[in-house]
Structure formats: structure tokens, C-alpha cells
Amino acid sequence: MKKEGKIQVWQDYQKEIASDHYFYVRSCIRQNFFPGSEQTFLKILREELNRDIYENPHHTTCSGIGYHSDVVPFDTIQTIVARQFALMTEAGYKNLAVSCITSFGIYNEIIETWKEFPAELEKVRSLLKKATGREFEVPENVAHASDIIYKFKEDIAGKKKFSLINQLTGKPLKIVEHIGCHYSKMFPCKGVGGAEFPHVLVGMIESWGGEVIDYPERRHCCGFGFRQYLVMSNRGYSLSNSRKKFESMEPYKPDAILCNCPGCPMFLDRWQYVIEEMEGKTYGENGHGIPVVTYEELAGLVLGYNPWDMGMQMHQTNVEPLLDKLGITYDPKLKYARKDGKMIGSPMMVGCGC
Amino acid sequence: MKEFGYTIIKQRTIDYDQFNGRLLNEILLMEPSFKVCLSCGGCTATCSAGDLVNFNIRRMNLLLRRGETAELESEIQKCMLCGKCMLVCPRGINLRNVIMLIKKNISRNKTTKY
Amino acid sequence: MKHIVIIGGGIAGIETASALTDAGHWVTVIEKDTRVGGKLNNWSYLFPDFTPAEKIAESLLEKCREKDFSILPDTEVKAIIRNQDKFNIHTSGNQNLEADAIVLATGYELFDARRKEEYGYKIYDQVVTSADLEQLLRPGESLTVAAGKNPKRIAFVHCVGSRDEKTGNHYCSKVCCITGVKQAIELKKRLPEAEIFCFYMDLRMYGKHFEELYREAQEKYDIQFIRGRLSEASEKIDKSLLIKAEDTLSGRPLKMNVDLLVLLVGMEAGKGTASAAFSCGVNCEESGFLKSMDSLLRSNISQQEGIFLAGSCTAPMSLNDTLLHARSAAIEVNNYLKKSIK
């Protein structure tokens, strides 16, 4: 693999990422899957980077999952998106920071639609006005939250308490990155590094001392795919797609999988447990799974945040092998403890070397 | 019916004179980009569904053009509409729209009396 | 004596110059490189009969030596100004030439395979273009891949940068099919143990002896042809490549591990042609190649009177077609100048 070739591609796909004053829109599913990630993002932006980031409790789902599953019509989703923009306009913000990859794709798709078909924009303005009395401006800058962490990766590196170095061997941790499909496969120019060789997560891993693993099925979907998962009888598609990726990355012995999408870490995490139950196979070392982390969690770990405060006990594939390699000390007894010391209960279904 | 121990064998030739092009023409009218398919198979190569089940998105074009509507209708259910085919198509065909149009028009043609 | 300036000293330019000198005209060729011959200098052996490219290049040089036309090497055209029925041509060497007619023979550029990002050219170690392979096929070059081994399995990808909406090139580059067949045979001769596959959409064996060479590739060299376009390539841990296509004739997706992937890159009009066209007001087609009055009877005649077109600046062309097109350009120029004498 020639690094220079990748650097050329990365230079070809650089995007404008606003540097401050963000209007944050959350994902509707992440808070259940990886409950501390978004909170960690806000903490990093506000406390580490001194940036202004605002969120409005009235914002809703973008309805992207419904749209991609054919139950929400295009006019409806456009109007819902317009309402989010109205909240942003009312709060005086112009830079949208999107937590979810599906939403990021939706916002880009709709803004591009309005550029190509201005009549749609006018129609949506009137629909929103009639329905809610609100008015809106189209955001000046749309960034995915991982773009923002990418932008400040060196600032984070400057404050790091831990490097992505295996403390047991002294070598860089080998990390596989997985980019959500809707990040740049629809609009390559909207993603840092484009669609084939995205740089957004690679940049973080390298800045924080790790080594990136490029494996043959890197570009393949994690398997979420709304139609593949939402209907139970289709879930074999989802599982099989994830499995294809695990099989392909296995020879490289990765220490962790890093994701920037709500769905991908969920499926890459949970399906490892299912595969172990179904086939008895695990993909990590010593019968463990490969820990799957979000970029906010990884940034948090690098900055020395407590993994249990970031909700990392909610991962089905245990993250302890990664914490051990990073040299992070943690109290196993506090894994399922609340801040007040009471236990939250431990999971009934455990897998991947638990 | 008398049994002779053998049957009259149905011809398997494509009888093009039996082909009713209505569905095809409806689709091509609404998504003209579908006319330019060159059957390269890039779509099938990258298809996230066709990798796992017996589904071949490239053949949708042929089924449509040969009037194999029944097979088309059942095959098309296997598409997950992920859109990866559109990333690789060298002719820039809006395949997702083609699939949606086929689904819609097959069911509409069933219910509408002309 | 009439003066003709030819822009481009490749095959088309030199052949036109030679024919016009024979017809008794004064000819000057402007060439941006130090030596004439253009892309021909980069090839090793030529289809369909494996003639060494050097032999053809040498015959061009012989014409340059023997015939009385002048060549301005390392020179580019800065501006072309029409002055009634003459042209003033200003060069990068600060020369001003006055010409009665101009022939554009600016040739083509190779498609930059990096633009097909999914094939990983310049990123994956074992991906080369057909142009790179020409260099590797020269005597004395080694064909080893990772770990110093000979490639055991090699795949050729047809239509890279041709017939592809995604790269903006709708046209067929014509020569890649036969180049693939020729190079596959050469590789098989060098590496008899290797398995060689060509992934094609359509095989266009349009020229004399092309079909025969295709047959020979199957019959004598066991080259295998799979009808399907590659959707992507990726590198495995041992540096070999995983490629994916549909085997369209079986109707199933196919994946394969190969040690070497050869991208048969197509032709593009290129910057030289675009800037030459711009400086003299000649129109381009949607493909970027130069537009002639029509494609049958007046394919050498541009829409600008006194400016003629020769060779692959008008469309992708083989060496043979380029020579013929250049000679017909010379006839058109000659007729034009004879008319203007009257």
C-alpha cells in the first residue's frame, strides 16, 4: 500500500468545516446504543476546545430511518428537516453539527435537492409555515460531528493523557476504521477524504498515535442497512454482511474497530456476540471479540475520561482488552455502578469472552 | 384426461410476439436512463443482496425487456435499495428509481382496468 | 512556396509533414518535447503483430532526417492570430512563424487511472496501467511482484476511463481491447505458469488481424475472458488483490485473488489539444476531441478555414489509423493550398 497515493486522494477531498458556533442535532438511536458518546462530544467541545455548541430540546428525529424504509414520504422529511433548520435559525446559528450519519446524508440530500430544484425549497417553506408558523434559513455549513473532531484532532492530541500505543508491547495499536455509508458514498465531496479512502477517522487514529489497518472489505457496509435489519426475516443479510467484514479484517489482528455512524458500531458490536453464539467463533485475541468504539469514546479515552462515565459498559463486546492495552486503569467492580454507587444491573446476554 | 406416459412439451423459446411492452415502456418513459444499460454487471458485482441470495439486479433489465413480469415481481423483492449499484454504474442509471417504478407499476397494472 | 505549420510531432504530425514535403511545400513541425514520436516512444511492441515500437519510431526519425522539413523541439504554441489568409504563430521560444495553413496534430493523453479510485491505482502496490506494463515488457525488465515472486494470476481490466459516465468519458477508446489481448499474450510468453484473465464488457476486435490475435490468445495462450466489469479492487495482507465483478454470462457475482492487476487505460483529448484548439478557435466535441466538419468526408477539416486536423486529436485512434488520417490530412491541405493559388 502506498501512503503517497492516499495522501493525494485526501488532498482532493477536503471540505469546509466550521470552526465554532455549532447547532447540534442528536441521533435518535445513539443514546440507546452508546449512551455516553454524544455527551462526551459536547464535553470535549465545550470543556477541552472552548467551543460554543448549542442544542435545542425541541429538535426531533430527522425521520431518515422512516424515509429510507419507505414509510415517510419525501415531502414529509423535507418539512421535518426544515423545522430543524427553523430551530437553528431562531437560535441564531448557521453551522449545523450532525451526530448521525443517516441524518448527515439526509441533510445533504435535501440541501442538494433544494439547490437543484429551487421550487422544492419554496414548497417546503410554505409547508412549514402552514404547519408550524416557522421560517428558516438553509445552514451555511453542514458538518458531521466526526468532521469536527477531525478538525480539532491535533488540539486533542495536544491534551492527550493516553496514546494509541499498546502499553504491553510499545507498538502502535492496530485500528480498523469503518465509515458509515451515508457519510460520503452519496456525496463523495461532503466527506473528508471522499468515498473510497475517507480520511476522517484515519486522521484521528494517526494523530493519536495508532496505526490504521486497511483490509479488503473496508469499504463494505457494516450490515445495518435499514431494510436489512428492520424486518426480522431480513436480518440474515445484516449479520452476513458484518461477518464478511470480520472475516476480512481477522488476519490483521486489529485491536479495535472505530466507527463514525450510529448503526455501524451497534451492529459490529452486537453481531460479534451473535456469531459467537451461532458459530462459536470470536475474532479478537484469546477468545475475546474485537472492541468496537465510537470516535467520541476514543477521543474521550485519549483525553483520559473514565470509560464507565462514557457508557462503555453498554458494549456487548467487552472493551476491557482495549483499555488494558491503552494502559487505562479502571475498577471492574464499578463497571455496572451508577454515579451514586448503586448498581444498574449487569447484562443477561454476554458474549465475546465475557 | 387420458395418461399416455408422455406429455406435450411446452416450447421454451422466447416468443417475442407474445411480449406486451407496456410495463417496459412505462418504466423507460419515467426513467429514460434505464435505456442505456450495457449489461456490464458492475451493479451485480457490488450488490449487497446479490452476494448473499440468488438475486441479480442486472437481469431485471432483461426480465423487463422479455416480458417475464412474474419472475421480475418476485425477484425485485430481494433488492435492499442500498444504492451501491448506482455508485459503480458506468452509464449513470438511476437504478433505485427503476426498482421503485417497477414495483409501483406492477402493482398498479394489476389493479387498474384499462 | 507555401508554408505549413504542424502542431505536434507525434506520428500524425511527422507523417503529415513528410507527405506535405513530398508535395513540394515548406513545412515546420512544432513539438513540445525534445524528441519527436510522441507516445510511440513509450511503447515496447505494437499490436497486432508485435512489431517493435522502436522500428516504427526509427522510420519516423528517418523521414525527419531525409526530408527537408524543419522541427522546432521543446517548443509550444503561445498564440495563433489569423491575418487575412495567413496565420501568425507565436511560440514559447519567442519565434514568430507565418503560415498559409496549420495542421493540428496534438494527439491524446492517457486517462489518469487514479480517477477510478475504486481500483486503487498508485495506492495498491500491484495495480499497474497498460502504459506501465509496456515499460515492464521491455527486454531486461523484471516482472516480479511482492516478495520477489513471479505473478501467478494476472487480470486485465478493459474500459478503464472509457465508456464510463463516472469519468465523463462516454466514448470507446478503440485500442484498449486489442492492447489487452496483445499484452496478455506477451505476459503469458514471459510467464508461462501464470493464469491470465481479461475482464471485458464487449471485445471490439475491429482492425485487421485483431480477431485472429484474440483467437490466438485463447487457442495458444489459454488467456481467459470473463464478461463483466470490475466493481472494485482491494489489497490483501499479502499484497495480492481481491477483485470483484459479475461473471455476467453465469449471472453470478465473482471474486478473485490476483497478483497483478493491469488497467487498460483509455485516451483523452488532453490539455495540449484543448489549448491548441482554444488558441485557434477550433471547436471541441463533447468528448474533448477536436470537431471536424463532418465525420465521413471532411474528417480532416476543422471549422476554421486553413486549419486542418490529423490523428488522435480528433478521436481515439490506433497507430495504423493515425498514419492514414495523417496522409489524408496532407491531401486536404495540398488541395486547399492549390485552390488558394488560383
* Domain annotation covers residue A51: yes
Query: A96, A115, A145 — which closes off a domain?
Result: A145
Cell of C45: 511492441
* pLDDT tens-digit readout, B85-110: 999 999 999 999 999 999 999 988 88
Fold designation for C3-108+269-341 = FAD/NAD(P)-binding domain (3.50.50)
Report the number of distinct structural domains present in chain A.
2
Residue range of the domain that includes A298: 158-334
Residue type, A262: P
Are A84 and A179 found together in one domain? no
Asked if residue B37 has pLDDT above 60, the reply is yes
* Domain annotation covers residue A342: no
Q: What is the mean pLDDT of chain B?
A: 90
Chain C interface includes B109 (CB < 8 A): no
For helices C319-341 and C11-22, angle between their N-to-C axes, nearest 10 degrees: 40
We find that the CATH architecture of domain C113-267 is 3-Layer(bba) Sandwich (3.50)
> CA Rg, chain A, in Å?
20
* pLDDT tens-digit readout, C254-303: 999 999 999 999 999 988 899 888 888 999 999 999 999 998 999 999 99
Are A137 and A283 found together in one domain? no
Instruction: Please give the pLDDT value at position C194.
Output: 95
Residue of C nearest to B86 (CA): C166
Lowest mean pLDDT, pick from A224-228, A350-354, C43-47: A350-354
Query: A145, A175, A194 — which closes off a domain?
Result: A145
Are A136 and A273 found together in one domain? no
Asked if residue A159 has pLDDT above 70, the reply is yes
* pLDDT tens-digit readout, A189-213: 999 999 999 999 999 999 999 999 9
Instruction: Please give the pLDDT value at position A312.
Output: 93
B83 and A186 in contact by Cβ < 8 A?
Answer: yes
Say if residues C276 and C70 touch (Cβ distance below 8 Å): no
Q: Identify the band that residue A339 occupies on the pLDDT scale cut at 50, 70 and 90.
A: confident
Say if residues A123 and A173 touch (Cβ distance below 8 Å): no
Residue with cell 486489529: A254
CB pairs under 8 A between A and C: 43
Q: Which residues from B are below 8 Å from A when comparing CB atoms?
A: 48-49, 51-53, 80-84, 87
Q: Backbone phi, then psi, for A257, in 5-degree steps?
A: -115, 125
CA neighbor of C308 nearest in space, from C339, C336, C340: C336
Are A313 and A209 found together in one domain? yes
CA distance B83 to B94: 9
* pLDDT tens-digit readout, A275-290: 999 999 999 998 899 9
The CATH number assigned to the domain holding A48 equals 1.20.1050.140
Lowest mean pLDDT, pick from A125-129, B13-17, C107-111, C144-148: C144-148
Query: A110, A145, A180 — which closes off a domain?
Result: A145
Asked if residue C342 has pLDDT above 60, the reply is no
Instruction: Please give the pLDDT value at position C146.
Output: 66
C122 and A215 in contact by Cβ < 8 A?
Answer: no
A196 and C122 in contact by Cβ < 8 A?
Answer: no
Cell of B19: 411480449
Residue of B nearest to C202 (CA): B40
Share of chain C above pLDDT 70, in %: 99
Q: Identify the band that residue C178 occupies on the pLDDT scale cut at 50, 70 and 90.
A: very high
B84 and A195 in contact by Cβ < 8 A?
Answer: no
Instruction: Please give the pLDDT value at position C341.
Output: 64
Are A138 and A269 found together in one domain? no
Average confidence (pLDDT) over A19-44: 94
The CATH number assigned to the domain holding A266 equals 3.40.50.11810
Could you tell me the end-to-end alpha-carbon distance of chain C, in angstroms, rounded to an integer?
14
B48 and A225 in contact by Cβ < 8 A?
Answer: yes
Chain B interface includes C227 (CB < 8 A): yes
- Which B residues 5-34 touch C at CB under 8 Å? none
Could you tell me the end-to-end alpha-carbon distance of chain B, in angstroms, rounded to an integer?
37
* pLDDT tens-digit readout, A261-276: 999 999 999 999 999 9
H or E element that contains A321: helix A320-326
CA distance C53 to A208: 52
Q: Rounded to the nearest 10 degrees, how much is the dihedral formed by the CA atoms of C264, C265, C267, C268?
A: 160
Asked if residue A354 has pLDDT above 60, the reply is no
Partner residue opposite B56 with nearest CB, options C118, C230, C251: C251
Are A20 and A114 found together in one domain? yes
Cell of B66: 422479455
Q: Identify the band that residue B61 occupies on the pLDDT scale cut at 50, 70 and 90.
A: very high
Q: What 3-state DSSP class applies to C190?
A: helix
Q: What is the mean pLDDT of chain A?
A: 94
Are A165 and A68 found together in one domain? no
Chain C interface includes B47 (CB < 8 A): yes
Lowest mean pLDDT, pick from A37-46, A114-123, A280-289: A280-289
Long-range contacts of C149-153 (CB under 8 A, 24+ apart): C149/C259, C150/C191, C150/C193, C150/C194, C151/C126, C151/C191, C151/C194, C151/C258, C151/C259, C151/C260, C152/C193, C152/C194, C152/C195, C152/C259, C153/C194, C153/C195, C153/C196, C153/C197, C153/C256, C153/C257, C153/C258, C153/C259, C153/C260
A221 and B52 in contact by Cβ < 8 A?
Answer: no
Residue A146: count other Cβ atoms within 10 Å of its Cβ: 31
Q: Identify the band that residue B113 occupies on the pLDDT scale cut at 50, 70 and 90.
A: low
Are A113 and A258 found together in one domain? no
Cell of C176: 484498449
C-alpha neighbours within 13 Å on the C-beta side of residue C289: 25
Q: Identify the band that residue B20 occupies on the pLDDT scale cut at 50, 70 and 90.
A: confident
Lowest mean pLDDT, pick from A119-123, A176-180, B18-22, C234-238: B18-22
Average confidence (pLDDT) over C151-164: 97
B38 and C202 in contact by Cβ < 8 A?
Answer: yes
* Domain annotation covers residue A208: yes
Q: What is the mean pLDDT of chain C?
A: 94
Asked if residue C141 has pLDDT above 90, the reply is no
A216 and C235 in contact by Cβ < 8 A?
Answer: yes
CA distance A283 to A276: 9
Asked if residue A128 has pLDDT above 80, the reply is yes
